[in-house]
Structure 1
């Protein structure tokens, strides 16, 4: 009988790993669909509901505002209460609110429904990505987490295509567009039923027997449970508000990494969602005919970009991918702003370059936060970083139509390029390298904000293990 044991970080890929990766994609797909479909529907909504640029900005940013609250609250809660319990409830809320959008009577009711949907998706980020991170072996962790961003852009692009097809339904077409989000979210909700709790989280709260049962049932007899026990830090039970976990991040020295994850994420999504939410309007203002069709074409390259990020994330490393992608998309925005009277072909090409580069780097949004924080604080770190990123994306989405109305399209693009420049500077200073590391090593891979460290530098006495 073969008694050879394999650490969870080095297990061969099994059917359960594939299922965990697939069902974790539900939140990102619905996120992309939610944010994309509003871009297609918003011009018609504004006309039907009599909204100006202020109303458009609020409706466009409503889900992002909700995501801020969802990540901030449910990230710490998933560290305290576990991953699996909330894994289906949040999608159930999303399904119900998606359908209710069809019956929106005014801008206020639509804003509130999309805000609640945003809360549900903001909760999903720390829950789903932490669960996937804690089950997957190291060679799959980066590509799979990056693929969740790919799925987000698949959802975003699918919503553009659905909206384009539904645009001919006549009056009230926007209601069908928005309500269509209920279909994919219901499918993923059903697929998530029965997902087990993370054994790493169970061990971190002292529930060893339950963790052993999960590993035996879903990962098989070759999984080295004793090694998992040895590397997992058992956290003291925290009392008081769930948000006290945020203070624990700082007390244990993870503040610089929280700042890094939050800033690089903000500097990616603020220009990204602002530009993509109003992409048809921006293309029109830059002289492109059939802006909606051009938007579908341009947006499809976000899928290509994220796929590229997935393919190179282990070869190039996290740091190099982040720096290169941020530099390229910033230059593309700057050139668009400098030359607003370019030919339609050049404008579309620059939008494609922006989408390719930004999406390639966006593959790291689910990777870095899940690798850099330990198990008992992973949901908190991911949730706070996601929440802060949504402040940036909501602010950008809200302010872009106001800035372009007042100062013109070029100014809006300059501001977006400036945000990208800030992200590049912060990433150059703070981005660590975590490829090929176990979760235990990755959460100690950075000397708390003092530049990148290579794998040989990652183990230190006294470092809290995930």
Structure 2
């Protein structure tokens, strides 16, 4: 481990880190609002613009198409030109495109603006966790990044409130909602302008003087706030060699590095993990309303039901963030995956409104909690030189699951019903959990450089 990395590992959790958590987390909040509020806007647009089912479906998929390319490109660029620059550009793209979508008057231009907005949110989601993880000590990195992902839940709850209170209030309510999700991002951009570039990334690119100056400035802030800095742990030659290894210098080289030697195992594990959770998540939440309608539940249109399901995400995310350090990332991810599948199967067997509500709360709790482990784990298992490339590609691959799952489930349902749909997606979750446990590496209580050394020597 290099001297700079040792100094970062010695930092206590402080006001500096709380500020990082809020600044980064608010980005995730607006990302979630943007994605979730579309479900409340599409029914209005379908009626106003007289859209067919196909056109409505295409509009619904536009954000995810943009997300795929945004995550893919942002991850690679984050390793080449810096995490901070990509983060700022991504946020600006999202804000501009979201504002543009509020001013459209036809579905083709709305689709284009949503794809571009999705590109921005995909890039933002892929870059924030690995960027901020590089400022955090091993002692609380899992809880920090898991809590960072927890800000997604606030966005979903806010989207539910906007969707039910603002969208139906006026014929232009959908435009107001889109503006409300975009304008605050401009203030967030202004707040983020003072964030430093990752010293770990600077060091990986050979920019040692800049990295040292960044660490020095942060330590001055910590001391000014009354923090007590521990003596950095001594360097080890082997870890130092891994930290100072030459970084890939092109997009092609970065992607190739993901599948070079023993790194291929980690890449295969993260891709499978993201595919399993994202495929199952969208399978479950796409078909839950249909399940309830089939059983004649008036609760399907209840504001209370929708809001409670969204609110259940909050303790789901933050409980998993806490367990990231208590159980470890692998155990937390696997446990929440399996329990989410059990809750989904339970929903198919419930008959009363109360029982379905309870199962739905558990489903939302565990499925969203899984992401707190997934985001923390993915940000740790790749070396600094290709960290955001690894996170971005895994996130993009997971988005394929979001695009494919509703379509595939549409073919499964006529033959096997809801039991078959939820059974198959639960089996995918169990398979994903096993892959994480068998192919994953332990990251709890270890520096990012030490994790990279294990990956090289495993």
Same fold (TM > 0.5): yes
Q: Is the 8 A contact 2:338 2:426 kept in 1?
A: no
Q: Distance in 1 between matches of 2:256 and 2:161?
A: 43
Q: Distance in 2 between matches of 1:435 and 1:116?
A: 37
Q: Is the 8 A contact 1:39 1:279 kept in 2?
A: no
The change in CA–CA distance for 1:18 and 1:367 in structure 2 (over 3 A counts) is same
Deviation at 1:395, TM superposition (A): 2.0
> What TM-score do the two structures reach when normalised by structure 2?
0.88
The change in CA–CA distance for 1:212 and 1:67 in structure 2 (over 3 A counts) is same
How do 1:162-241 and structure 2 match up within 5 A?
162-220=162-220, 224=232, 227=235, 230=240, 233-236=243-246, 238-239=248-249, 241=250
Of the structure 1 ranges 44-53 and 370-379, higher mean CA displacement relative to structure 2 is found in 44-53
Q: Distance in 2 between matches of 1:276 and 1:44?
A: 21
SS at match of 1:25: helix
Deviation at 1:141, TM superposition (A): 1.0
How do 1:411-426 and structure 2 match up within 5 A?
411-426=420-435
In structure 2, the gaps of 5 or more residues are: 224-228
Q: Is residue 2:251 matched to residue 1:242?
A: yes
Q: Distance in 2 between matches of 1:122 and 1:372?
A: 20
How do 1:105-144 and structure 2 match up within 5 A?
105-144=105-144
Q: Is the 8 A contact 1:70 1:120 kept in 2?
A: yes
Of the structure 1 ranges 65-74 and 43-52, higher mean CA displacement relative to structure 2 is found in 43-52
Q: Which residue of 1 aligns with 2:29?
A: 29
Deviation at 1:174, TM superposition (A): 2.5
Residue by residue over 1:361-387, the C-alpha shift from the partner in whole angstroms, topping out at 9 and shown as x without a partner, is 211121111111110010111111111
Q: Which residue of 1 aligns with 2:86?
A: 86
Choose between structure 1 and 2: higher helix proportion: 2
Q: Is residue 2:416 matched to residue 1:381?
A: no
Q: Is residue 2:360 matched to residue 1:351?
A: yes
The change in CA–CA distance for 1:431 and 1:46 in structure 2 (over 3 A counts) is farther
How do 1:62-461 and structure 2 match up within 5 A?
62-220=62-220, 224=232, 227=235, 230=240, 233-236=243-246, 238-239=248-249, 241-276=250-285, 283-290=292-299, 291-293=301-303, 294-337=305-348, 339=349, 342-397=351-406, 411-445=420-454, 460=457
Q: Distance in 2 between matches of 1:404 and 1:171?
A: 36
Of the structure 1 ranges 374-383 and 168-177, higher mean CA displacement relative to structure 2 is found in 168-177
The change in CA–CA distance for 1:91 and 1:257 in structure 2 (over 3 A counts) is same
Deviation at 1:304, TM superposition (A): 1.2
Q: Is residue 2:62 matched to residue 1:51?
A: no
Residue by residue over 1:50-93, the C-alpha shift from the partner in whole angstroms, topping out at 9 and shown as x without a partner, is 33443333322221221111111121111111112222121111
Q: Which residue of 1 aligns with 2:226?
A: none
Aligned pair count? 442
Q: Distance in 1 between matches of 2:333 and 2:363?
A: 14
Q: Is the 8 A contact 1:280 1:295 kept in 2?
A: no
> What TM-score do the two structures reach when normalised by structure 1?
0.86
Q: Distance in 2 between matches of 1:174 and 1:154?
A: 20
Q: Is the 8 A contact 1:62 1:394 kept in 2?
A: no
Q: Distance in 2 between matches of 1:403 and 1:176?
A: 38
Q: Is the 8 A contact 1:61 1:397 kept in 2?
A: no
Q: Distance in 2 between matches of 1:65 and 1:322?
A: 26
What is the Cα-based RMSD across aligned positions, in Å? 2.8
